[in-house]
Amino acid sequence: MAAVAFVGLGVMGGPMAGHLARAGHTVTVYNRTTPKAVAWVDANGGQPAASPRLAAEGADAVFLCVGRDDDVRSVVLGPDGVLAAMRRGSVLVDHTTASADLARELATTCHAHGVGFVDAPVSGGQAGAVNGALTVMCGGAQDHFDVVAPIIDAYAKACTLMGPAGSGQLTKMVNQLAIAGIVQGLSEAMHFAARAGLDVDQVIDVIGKGAAQSWQLDNRGRTMWRGEFDFGFAAEWMRKDLEICLDEARRNGAQLPLAALVDQLYAQVIARGGARWDTSSLIHLLDNP
Amino acid sequence: MAAVAFVGLGVMGGPMAGHLARAGHTVTVYNRTTPKAVAWVDANGGQPAASPRLAAEGADAVFLCVGRDDDVRSVVLGPDGVLAAMRRGSVLVDHTTASADLARELATTCHAHGVGFVDAPVSGGQAGAVNGALTVMCGGAQDHFDVVAPIIDAYAKACTLMGPAGSGQLTKMVNQLAIAGIVQGLSEAMHFAARAGLDVDQVIDVIGKGAAQSWQLDNRGRTMWRGEFDFGFAAEWMRKDLEICLDEARRNGAQLPLAALVDQLYAQVIARGGARWDTSSLIHLLDNP
């Protein structure tokens, strides 16, 4: 069992850190809003820390799950950041979906401190975090991965090293690009089905057996055409992820016409008050023009 | 066992009619190009006819699987069309993917002749036709459906009545709209993955476990990023189907911004000589700008 720190106890990080505590690791937590850290300790044991730096003191591995690139920079590189306290030979794992450039930058900085770094964005959503069934996409060196993979197993159904630092983030971007197309296509399909007067539930049963099948159809088809969006992965986070994809594509030269369109459509969803609505809320724009 | 006619022995109709013969039905076939009908009879038994009308003489049910609305009109309503020969109480089944308007028109015309009509487009592709595992989406009256569903079972894994005449076509349109989004999203995702220097096969394994999973990812992900398109469902047929969707949407008021974009992208694929390439060939435009 390891001494670990976990920074960021949101809808993802909270249950992930909980799995670490239940697996027998000694867990020290930090959260920007203190009451959330106190509530987490009440529920899971472990101990709260007053800063990321204090949380990381003496840890074998430090895990982050925060919001954006700047949040990661702050909790890692700031005066009270984890890197100021991490010992040589320990490993920093960033579960935040962030840019590949940030991952490469942090890997270099950590290396200079004798600290390992693994970028490790996840997919599987809140349900995957709660059930310990996340897919974890990692970038980094094999020896650093080998240290943290057995710990990550507490909340992962799959944890894969995809290549050097940044490769986890790039893989997550591929995932989000695929989802962007599926969700807009499915939105148009469900919107059309309702307009055509079909029994949409029956349509979902039938088309889900063939080449139109997708996880999104199976798990979001029924809710989206009923306009139920108060759950799942928020439109504002999906938009952040698409921004990362589009930024990276400016560098690697990939053409992403559909992702660029869907990014703008999420801007509309958010402008209508749907920042916290599930990713499937793209259909709202079609049903309510 | 029934006496049936089958008009249109293409990559779909040929194997479908073959399943009818193997199920023990008496099958009379017609194909626009005679050698194909002769070859089919050599392989499957049954007998060829010199016109759709002659094929339909004495049949309990007549099946069509041709190209476009005008082809259907010709083989049904023309002077040598099936309707001139179909007896009262027999049922016409159209497996062509065609407009819902045509289905409604044919249902009315057939009704005036005392003939039943079921629009019954399929999904599952050539492999589904060969293996007798098609999904069949039907529109029509329950009593007509009940006559033909046991016959269709010879090549279907599912055969469902979706509503009145036209409902089969509308359901197929929903299917194609969902696929259009999935394929473009997946094209951008695979294109981005290769540009990012990732091991694309490994990426497919990893993202296929979560919310980005789709039949298209599982069955086309690996071939598409390698640029293999000489199989599957042709771009020119997908474009025909999207035209039907976009036409119908002008009537029912559905908004289909992504389908309209993908329709134009298929126009580009076709302009580059890819009319017969698989639907997944959208990635060719990104990889070869």
**Does residue B42 sit in the same domain as residue B117?**
yes
The residue-averaged pLDDT of A257-286 equals 98
CA distance to partner chain A, nearest, from residue B61 (Å):
24
User: Within this chain, do residues A82 and A147 fall inside the same structural domain, yes or no?
Assistant: yes
Same domain, A93 and A179: no
Instruction: Count CB-CB contacts under 10 A for residue A84.
Output: 17
Per the prediction, chain A carries an average pLDDT of 97
Which of B101, B131, B177, B285 should we substitute to test contact with A (largest number of A Cβ atoms within 10 Å)?
Answer: B177
Domain match, A102 and A237 both: no
Alpha-helix residue ranges (DSSP H) falling in chain B: 13-22, 34-44, 52-56, 69-77, 100-112, 125-131, 142-152, 167-195, 200-207, 215-225, 235-252, 257-271, 282-287
Domain count within chain B: 2
Q: Which structural domain, as residue segments, surrounds residue A254?
A: 170-287
**Partner-chain contact A181 B179, CB within 8 Å:** no
Between CA A174 and CA B78 the distance in angstroms is 51
If you search the block for the tokens 């505590």, which residue do you land on? Answer: A21
State the first-to-last Cα distance of chain A, in angstroms, to the nearest integer: 55
User: If we measure between CA atoms, which residue out of A261, A231, A147, A204 comes closest to residue B184?
Assistant: A261
pLDDT band at A178; cut points 50, 70, 90: very high
**Do A135 and A180 belong to one domain?**
no
Residue of B nearest to A280 (CA): B211
β-pair type (A116-119, A91-94): parallel
The one-letter code for the residue type at A271 is: A
Shared domain for B23 and B129, answered yes or no, is yes
Strand A122-123 versus strand A134-140 pairing type: antiparallel
Residues of A assigned a catalytic role:
172
AA identity, residue B153: D
B221 in the same domain as B145: no
Shared domain for B147 and B195, answered yes or no, is no
Q: Which of A163, A187, A214 is the last residue of a domain?
A: A163
Question: What DSSP string describes A189-253?
Answer: HHHHHHHTT--HHHHHHHHTTTTT-BHHHHHHHHHHHTT--SSSSBHHHHHHHHHHHHHHHHHH-
Look up the CATH number of the domain holding residue B15: 3.40.50.720
Q: Domain check: are A193 and A103 in the same one?
A: no
Nearest CA distance, A97 vs chain B (angstrom): 15
Residues on chain A touching B217 (C-beta within 8 angstroms): 178
Judge contact between A102 and A131, C-beta under 8 A: no
Hey, how many other C-beta atoms are within 10 angstroms of the C-beta on A135?
A: 24
Q: B69 to chain A, minimum CA–CA distance in Å?
A: 19
Q: Is the CB of A261 less than 8 angstroms away from the CB of B257?
A: yes
Interface contact flag, B254 A192, Cβ < 8 Å: yes
Question: Would you list the DSSP string of A36-95?
Answer: HHHHHHHHH-SEE-SSHHHHHTT-SEEEE--SSHHHHHHHHHSTTSGGGTPPTT-EEEE-
In 3D space, the residue among A265, A241, A183 whose CA is nearest the CA of residue B185 turns out to be A183
| Statement to judge: residues B130 and B202 lie in one domain | no
Maximum C-alpha span of chain A: 64
Task: Assess whether B150 and B182 both reside in one domain.
Answer: no
Query: Do A127 and A15 belong together in one domain?
Result: yes
- Alpha carbon of A89 to those of A110, A162, B278: distances in Å? 10, 22, 51
From A163, A189, A211, give the residue that closes a domain: A163
Please, are residues B6 and B17 in contact by the beta-carbon 8 Å criterion? Answer: yes
Helix (H, G, I), strand (E, B) or coil at B25: coil
Say which of A210, A254, A261 has its CB closest to residue B123: A210
Using the beta-carbon criterion (under 8 Å), do B181 and A183 form an inter-chain contact?
A: yes
User: pLDDT tens-digit profile of A208-258?
Assistant: 999 999 999 999 999 999 999 999 899 999 999 999 999 999 999 999 999
Cβ–Cβ below 8 Å for A174 and B190: yes
Q: Nearest chain B Cα to A211, which residue?
A: B215
Which residue in chain A has the smallest CA separation from B207?
A175
Tokens, residue B178:
């969902």
**Which of B163, B183, B209 is where one domain is finished?**
B163
pLDDT at B52: 98
Nearest CA in chain B to A134: B210
User: Of B195, B212, B257, which has the smallest distance from its Cβ to A253's Cβ?
Assistant: B195
Phi, psi of B61 (to 5 degrees): -145, 145
Whether the full predicted model's pTM is greater than 0.90, yes or no, is yes
Q: Locate tokens 């200079």: which residue?
A: A112
Give me the catalytic one of B36, B157, B172, B240.
Answer: B172
Q: What is the rounded end-to-end Cα distance, in angstroms, of chain B?
A: 55
What are the 10-residue block averages of pLDDT along chain B, 289 residues in total?
96 97 98 96 96 98 97 97 98 98 98 98 93 97 98 98 98 98 98 98 96 97 97 95 98 97 98 97 97
Among the partner residues B158, B167, B233, nearest to A209 by beta-carbon distance: B158
